[in-house]
């Protein structure tokens, strides 16, 4: 097969999906924002051909380049793992008559308000939510549902531009930033108290083939805004146990209701005093190299299995569930440049056998902001057969490793 992959070089993570496609015999061509003369060696090694597109969100540019590339050899599939390109990829499939996620479903997976409306109709427990275009509608929602509320873009992801508002005074202060003018649409939701995690799947033509579950400590919104926190992501190898039965059932109801097949999904969920609640779902793999954690913990080529699923081929492996996996980031104490670290040597001596990759920036390296995610500045990734021991190890690292900046 010949696969067009959109944005193949935005991160080294993308290269793993290119390798997955190549491992099952597909040829891969790419279109992305990277200039052709700056394409990384990792991407070049996996791509048959490549075209640069200065604005990958301009559908007409994308279509013209896709048609040009298909003149040499027609495409059989169009794929991407980047959230903003999910709908453009679907529009390309429709324009070129190719199978895969369609435009209506892609739009539904990007519009979190419409998604929750549909899922509530199918009995999936969701937070109360609404799309609003005016201050009056926003105030009405807050009066009806009560504070706190969450305000975010309808097509947001990774907690970007997401705000928790705890009272009317905070809402008044935020209104100038929201710029509600009767046309701009924002999502407003009931704030769900409780623990936050995610449920990921690989869907073949017949539904769920493989699934994985992870936890955030603390939740994304708090982690993205609090410097002193060393946020953790923990992948559980206990997913087959009774404790995850309800989550897996809800996850499959969600993918069935949305009519998803031959794709990856990344679903956020919450569990607290109101029970299990669906958060949102993206028709794409998780970011932050989370799938690489599945590879490390499960002795499993998750990228090859994704390629088999999206191309409609049978699965040929199963995750071992041998280990749990964790990721912890150590934030610098301020923005600036790294001055040094403490606790790294002790951590490596104590947990080095379980740490499979880490980054400790050298002194003089410029720090990156909290909005850049979990895999920046100083971080460690590790595996362990026991989930509780993994958590203890990450807690030790968070308490003992410190990054000083100046």
The edge-to-edge listing of strands for the beta sheet with 275-282 is: 275-282, 263-272, 195-204, 207-217, 232-235, 324-330, 378-384, 355-359
Whether residue 156 is predicted with pLDDT greater than 80 in this model: the reply is no
| 11: confidence class by pLDDT, cuts 50, 70, 90 | very high
Whether residue 122 is predicted with pLDDT greater than 90 in this model: the reply is yes
What is the pLDDT at residue 318?
97
What is the pLDDT at residue 158?
59
| 179: confidence class by pLDDT, cuts 50, 70, 90 | confident
Q: Secondary structure of the chain in the HEC alphabet?
A: CEEEEECCCCCHHHHHHHHHHHHCCCEEEEEECCCHHHCCHHHHCCCCCEEECCCCCCHHHHHHHHHHHHHHCCCCEEECCCHHHHHHHHHHHHHHCCCCCCHHHHHHHHCHHHHHHHHHHCCCCECCEEEECCHHHHHHHHHHHCCCEEEEECCCCCCCCCEEECCHHHHHHHHHHHCCCCCCCEEEEECCCCEEEEEEEEEECCEEEEEEEEEEECCHHHHCCCCCCCCEEEECCCCCCHHHHHHHHHHHHHHHHCCCCCEEEEEEEEEECCEEEEEEEECCCCCCCHHHHHHHHHCCCHHHHHHHHHCCCCCCCCCCCCCEEEEEEECECCCCEEEEEECHHHHHHHHCCCEEEEECCCCCCECCCHHHCCCCCEEEEEEECCHHHHHHHHHHHHHHCEEEEC
Produce one character per residue of 218-253: b if its CB has 16 or more CB atoms within 10 Å, e if not. Answer: ebbbebbeeeebbbbbbbbbebeeeebeebbebbbb
CATH topology of domain 194-322: D-amino Acid Aminotransferase; Chain A, domain 1 (3.30.470)
Tell me what the mean pLDDT of segment 258-270 comes to: 97
Lowest mean pLDDT among 225-229, 242-246, 291-295: 225-229
202-242: pLDDT as tens digits? 999 999 999 999 999 999 988 888 899 999 999 999 999 99
Whether residue 175 is predicted with pLDDT greater than 70 in this model: the reply is yes
- Per the prediction, the chain carries an average pLDDT of 95
Structure tokens at 138: 């926003």
What is the pLDDT at residue 48?
96
Superfamily of domain 323-406: ATP-grasp fold, B domain (3.30.470.20)
Lowest mean pLDDT among 25-34, 47-56, 70-79, 173-182: 173-182
CA distance 366 to 376: 11
One fold for 194-322 and 323-406: yes
Q: Which class would CATH give 128-190? A: alpha beta
First-last CA distance in the chain: 52
Burial of 133 (0-12, 13-18, 19+ CB in 10 A): middle
Q: Which class would CATH give 2-100? A: alpha beta
Tell me what the mean pLDDT of segment 21-45 comes to: 97
| 372: confidence class by pLDDT, cuts 50, 70, 90 | confident
- Of 3, 13, 24, nearest to 304 (Cα)? 24
What is the pLDDT at residue 304?
98
| 275: confidence class by pLDDT, cuts 50, 70, 90 | very high
Bigger pLDDT: 162 or 23?
23
Domain ranges of the chain: 2-100, 128-190, 194-322, 323-406
What is the pLDDT at residue 162?
86
Whether residue 323 is predicted with pLDDT greater than 80 in this model: the reply is yes
In this prediction the pTM is 0.94
What is the pLDDT at residue 184?
86
Percent of the chain with pLDDT over 70: 99
Whether residue 315 is predicted with pLDDT greater than 90 in this model: the reply is yes
């Amino acid at each position: 097969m010949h696969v067009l992959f959109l944005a193949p070089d935005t991160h080294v993570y993308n290269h793993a999906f290119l390798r997955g496609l190549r491992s099952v015999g597909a040829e891969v061509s790419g279109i992305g924002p990277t200039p052709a003369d700056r394409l990384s060696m990792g991407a070049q090694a996996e791509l048959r051909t490549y075209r640069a597109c200065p604005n990958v969100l301009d559908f007409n540019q994308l279509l013209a380049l896709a048609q040009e590339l298909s003149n040499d050899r027609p495409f059989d599939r169009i794929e991407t793992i980047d959230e903003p390109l999910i709908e453009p990829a679907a529009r390309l499939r429709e324009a070129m008559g190719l199978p895969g996620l369609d435009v209506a479903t892609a739009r539904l997976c990007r519009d979190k308000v419409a998604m929750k409306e549909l899922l509530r109709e199918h009995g999936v427990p969701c937070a109360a939510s609404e799309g609003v275009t005016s201050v009056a509608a926003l105030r009405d929602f807050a009066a009806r549902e009560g504070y706190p509320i969450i305000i975010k873009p309808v097509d947001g992801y990774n907690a970007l531009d997401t705000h928790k508002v705890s009272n009317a005074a905070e809402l008044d202060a935020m209104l100038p930033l929201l710029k509600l003018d009767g046309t701009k649409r924002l999502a407003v939701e009931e704030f769900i108290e409780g623990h936050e995690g995610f449920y990921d799947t690989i869907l073949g033509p017949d539904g769920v083939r493989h699934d994985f579950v992870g936890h955030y400590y603390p939740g994304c919104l708090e982690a993205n805004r609090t410097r002193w926190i060393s946020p953790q992501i923990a992948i559980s190898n206990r997913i087959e146990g009774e404790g995850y039965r309800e989550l897996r059932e809800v996850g499959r109801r969600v993918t069935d209701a949305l009519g998803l097949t031959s794709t990856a999904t990344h679903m956020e969920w919450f569990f607290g005093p109101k029970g299990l609640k669906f958060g949102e779902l993206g028709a794409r793999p998780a970011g932050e190299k989370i799938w690489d954690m599945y590879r490390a913990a499960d002795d499993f080529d998750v990228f090859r299995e994704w390629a088999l699923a999206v191309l409609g081929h049978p699965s040929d492996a199963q995750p071992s569930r041998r280990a749990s996996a964790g990721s912890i980031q150590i934030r610098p104490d301020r923005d600036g440049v790294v001055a040094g670290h403490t606790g790294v040597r002790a951590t490596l001596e104590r947990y080095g056998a379980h740490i499979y990759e880490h980054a400790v920036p050298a002194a003089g390296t410029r720090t990156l902001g909290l909005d850049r995610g979990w895999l920046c500045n100083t971080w460690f990734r590790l595996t362990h057969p026991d989930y509780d021991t993994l958590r203890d190890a990450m807690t030790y690292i968070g308490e003992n490793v410190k990054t000083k900046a100046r």
